[in-house]
Structure 1
Amino acid sequence: MMVFLAFALALLADPATPAPPPVERCGYRIVQTYPHDAASFTQGLFWDDGHLYEGTGQYGRSRIARLDLRTGKALAEAKLPADQFGEGITRWGEQIIGVTWQNGVGHRWSIKDLKPLGNFTYDGEGWGVTMVDGSLVLSDGSPELRFLDPATMREQKRVTVRLGDRPVGMINELEAIDGQVWANIWMTDVIVRIDPVSGAVVSLVDLSGLKTDAGASGADSVLNGIAWDAKKKRLFVTGKYWPKLYEIALADCV
């Protein structure tokens, strides 16, 4: 469990503030392993109606795709313009909404056939997105989560993510699970579970060792991608350029 202490001390913004309080800490067990396209720079992931949907990054290679879980292959895809770096994706109604890294441009596609439905703009960077109680929640690498009206993209509020009194930065891919926002922390093996009302980190999930198991290597091949099958209560995770995708269950929570 020393990874949690190292995480807490390393990524928190102000070392002059008091040490963070104890929070729930969980490990994991692998339930099932599936193939994943090792060429995919995974930026966003969600589950819907029997399929995974993935958004990938890198200029000239960014796309969204509907994936077959058993094979990891794309059943349908839509590419982003070559000058845009794709980031997180989420479902809103019959749309997939996706953001880009530094372009300030977001996209809408039909979830039925992945055909484009239009674009929108927003300020700042885009990292991860998810839906919570009718609001689009956007991360931008800072400790703040922005809540937006998904129809108009007008900002409704902001919440600062904190572990105790310390703001938590590098918040990346997002997934809403049972009223919480789960978030990858970029360049770490840790997922944080966040109360979307207060911004408090209520749990840490240590996925150390999963990258090694996946056979991924290189500094860019970090953990990123969380998807939740609400009907079957299945939790999926993967990473950038990983050749495997995992169904996992939480374990050894203290």
Structure 2
Amino acid sequence: MKRKKRSEVGRQRPNRERSEEEEEEEEEKRQMPRRRTLPQHHRRIPMPPANLSISTPAAAPLPPLYRRCRPLIAALAALLLLLIVLVAAGLPYAPWRATSAPAVLLGRPAVPSTPPATKFYSFDLIREYPHDPYAFTQGLLYAGNDTLFESTGLYHRSSVRKVDLTTGKVLVQHEMEGRMFGEGLTLLNDKLFQVVWLKNEGFIYDRHNFSKRESFTHKMRDGWGLATDGKVLFGSDGTSKLYQLDPKSIQVMKTVTVKYQDKEVPFLNELEYINGEVWANVWQTDCIARVSHEDGLVVGWIFLHELRQKLLRSSNMELDVLNGIAWDEENHRLFVTGKLWPKLYEIKLRPVDGPEDGSIEKLCPKASFYR
């Protein structure tokens, strides 16, 4: 017998019996379907075993729109505030005020408002007109066409009259009852309003016919001066009070106290409304106070001492205190006179330097015959 080659003998594996487990495993492999091996980039990610629990985090919800825009809104607000501050800084002439935008936004304390500085005036004499030396002038107003309306006082001599400016001649006159002491006078529309002294009474006249009149009562302490702005009546009662009256009901609508340097200015007498201010003769003096009717502050003083001195030098010794202001709004003419003055003066105001610290007594001392 021939022997087999060694190579063949080496290839043969020794026969051995398979175990039951190996046969079962071999049988399972034969029964499983063949699968084609996929390339590496096509292979699926192996799934975790079924018994292993893995929780996948859910996607966080987006915040509300107003929260997402909050940084942008804050940036815009900061930019706007910066622009306001820069603009305000570039306007040095504009003071900080409580109502201004920068003061409100920044909480900067407001600068307290200061009253305007008081102005002082003397005058230049423009023209002289004759005036009834027996007229105890208590109310005066310009009526147009070179005519005046005038109220005179004193018992048994009081009257309401229409006067020619250029000649001083009385054109129309209404004599009042002897028990009446005529005081302030003003013209509203076609009606003349007049108050009387020491009584809470007054009269309304038709400007064209003095005989047509009606009476009224008022609640001022007394009747001294009257003026109007075309809407309301302004009244004085010899104190520091300035009244606003309803021309229909004559009821007091408002009252202010006239002050200068925080001190009351008493003895307000004949009144005139000029360019938004109430001008008042101060009784026993040669001064006119220019008053803000809104708050009662004296915004200016007019010194007319030289007018009375002029009359005294001409031997007119019977004249009384300055009293009577009339304003020609159309021609911007100012007229003044006094009680028992034989002259009426057209003047033009001239600003002068005044003592800011001067008291009322120093600025407007009493006239010599009242001392």
Q: Same fold (TM over 0.5)?
A: yes
Query: Is 1:160 paired with 2:260?
Result: no
Contact 2:119 2:351 in 1 (8 A): no
Contact 1:40 1:240 in 2 (8 A): yes
Counterpart mapping for 1:75-154 below 5 A: 75-123=171-219, 124-132=221-229, 134-154=231-251
Give the whole-Å Cα distance in 1 for the aligned partners of 2:195 and 2:330. Answer: 26
Counterpart of 2:129, as a letter, is Y
Give the whole-Å Cα distance in 2 for the aligned partners of 1:217 and 1:127. Answer: 25
Counterpart of 1:221, as a letter, is D
* Stretch deviating more after TM superposition (61-70 or 208-217): 208-217
Q: How many residues matched?
A: 234
Counterpart of 1:63, as a letter, is S
Contact 1:21 1:164 in 2 (8 A): no
Query: Is 1:247 paired with 2:343?
Result: no
Query: Is 1:217 paired with 2:317?
Result: yes
Structure 1 residue 207: Cα displacement: 0.2
Contact 1:127 1:140 in 2 (8 A): yes
Query: Is 1:193 paired with 2:193?
Result: no
Corresponding position of 2:30: none
**Where does structure 1 lack aligned partners over 5 or more consecutive residues?**
1-19
What secondary structure is seen at the aligned counterpart in 1 of 2:210?
coil
Considering only aligned residues, what root-mean-square deviation do their CA atoms show, in Å?
1.5
What secondary structure is seen at the aligned counterpart in 2 of 1:138?
strand
Give the whole-Å Cα distance in 1 for the aligned partners of 2:191 and 2:169. Answer: 22
Give the whole-Å Cα distance in 1 for the aligned partners of 2:157 and 2:329. Answer: 30
Higher relative contact order (CA 8 A, sep 6+): 1
Structure 1 residue 48: Cα displacement: 1.2
What secondary structure is seen at the aligned counterpart in 2 of 1:213?
helix
Structure with the largest fraction of strand: 1
Give the whole-Å Cα distance in 2 for the aligned partners of 1:181 and 1:86. Answer: 21
Give the whole-Å Cα distance in 1 for the aligned partners of 2:200 and 2:344. Answer: 29
Counterpart of 2:241, as a letter, is E
Give the whole-Å Cα distance in 2 for the aligned partners of 1:164 and 1:171. Answer: 16
Structure 1 residue 203: Cα displacement: 0.3
Structure 1 residue 100: Cα displacement: 0.2
Contact 2:116 2:299 in 1 (8 A): no
Alignment equivalent of 2:327, drawn from 225, 228, 238: 228
Give the whole-Å Cα distance in 2 for the aligned partners of 1:205 and 1:217. Answer: 23
Give the whole-Å Cα distance in 2 for the aligned partners of 1:253 and 1:95. Answer: 38
Structure 1 residue 133: Cα displacement: 5.2
Q: Which has the larger radius of gyration?
A: 2
TM-score scaled to structure 2, two decimals? 0.61
What secondary structure is seen at the aligned counterpart in 2 of 1:67?
strand
Give the whole-Å Cα distance in 2 for the aligned partners of 1:36 and 1:166. Answer: 35
Contact 1:21 1:163 in 2 (8 A): no
What secondary structure is seen at the aligned counterpart in 2 of 1:196?
coil
Alignment equivalent of 1:34, drawn from 92, 113, 129: 129
Structure with the largest fraction of helix: 2
Structure 1 residue 94: Cα displacement: 0.9
What secondary structure is seen at the aligned counterpart in 1 of 2:345?
strand
Counterpart of 1:68, as a letter, is D
What secondary structure is seen at the aligned counterpart in 1 of 2:305?
coil
Alignment equivalent of 1:207, drawn from 304, 319, 340: 304
What secondary structure is seen at the aligned counterpart in 2 of 1:231?
coil
What secondary structure is seen at the aligned counterpart in 2 of 1:212?
helix
Contact 1:186 1:222 in 2 (8 A): yes
Contact 2:185 2:227 in 1 (8 A): yes
Give the whole-Å Cα distance in 2 for the aligned partners of 1:170 and 1:116. Answer: 32
**Where does structure 2 lack aligned partners over 5 or more consecutive residues?**
1-114, 354-371
Contact 1:99 1:127 in 2 (8 A): yes
Structure 1 residue 104: Cα displacement: 1.7
Give the whole-Å Cα distance in 2 for the aligned partners of 1:252 and 1:91. Answer: 29
What secondary structure is seen at the aligned counterpart in 2 of 1:209?
helix
Q: Render the CA deviation track for 1:4-39: whole Å, top value 9, x for unaligned.
A: xxxxxxxxxxxxxxxx99511110111000000000
Give the whole-Å Cα distance in 2 for the aligned partners of 1:247 and 1:162. Answer: 28
What secondary structure is seen at the aligned counterpart in 2 of 1:211?
helix
Counterpart of 1:27, as a letter, is S
TM-score scaled to structure 1, two decimals? 0.89
Structure 1 residue 113: Cα displacement: 2.2
Counterpart of 2:281, as a letter, is N
